[in-house]
């Protein structure tokens, strides 16, 4: 098995998503449980789901676990465990997402 970076920071750049409310204090906004998509972005997600189901599953994991700054520090193995797949599949999915400008990886 090839050794890969344990932690990867992912930031959304290709699919524009907007949080509904940003809290000013320590309280969490009641609406932080949902995201808003532009219709154009939904069209791109539809194409992604047909072109690479593994990439779509990986992206949905990232969306579900990202912070309010649209960032996530996570290992590929943790993503694989979360979606019920293999780390190698997640690795390929992440490369696909980067190539198609859905995510940016900062190491």
Q: Using one digit for the tens of pLDDT, what is the confidence trace for 20-40?
A: 334 445 555 554 667 777 888
pTM of the entire structure?
Answer: 0.72
Q: What is the mean pLDDT of the chain?
A: 76
Closest CA to 69 of 25, 27, 14, 9: 9
Buried b / exposed e across 22-40, counting CB within 10 Å, b at 16+?
eeeeeeeeeeeeeeeeeee
Average pLDDT over residues 46-60: 95
Tell me the pLDDT band of 58, cut-offs 50, 70 and 90. very high
- Tell me: pLDDT of 41 over 90: no
| Lowest mean pLDDT, pick from 5-9, 12-16, 101-105 | 5-9
28 versus 73: the higher-pLDDT residue is 73
Whole-angstrom distance, CA of residue 107 vs CA of residue 94: 13
Predicted local distance difference test score (pLDDT) of residue 42: 87
Predicted local distance difference test score (pLDDT) of residue 104: 87
């Amino acid at each position: 098995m090839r050794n890969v970076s344990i932690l990867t920071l992912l930031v959304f750049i290709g699919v524009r998503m907007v949080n509904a409310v940003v809290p000013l204090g320590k309280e969490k906004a009641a609406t932080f449980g949902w995201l808003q998509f532009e219709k154009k972005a939904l069209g791109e997600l539809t194409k992604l789901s047909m072109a690479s189901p593994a990439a779509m599953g990986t992206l949905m994991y990232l969306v579900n676990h990202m912070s309010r700054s649209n960032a996530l520090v996570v290992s590929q193995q943790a993503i694989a465990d979360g979606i019920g797949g293999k780390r190698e599949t997640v690795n390929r999915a992440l490369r696909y997402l980067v190539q198609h400008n859905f995510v940016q990886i900062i190491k």
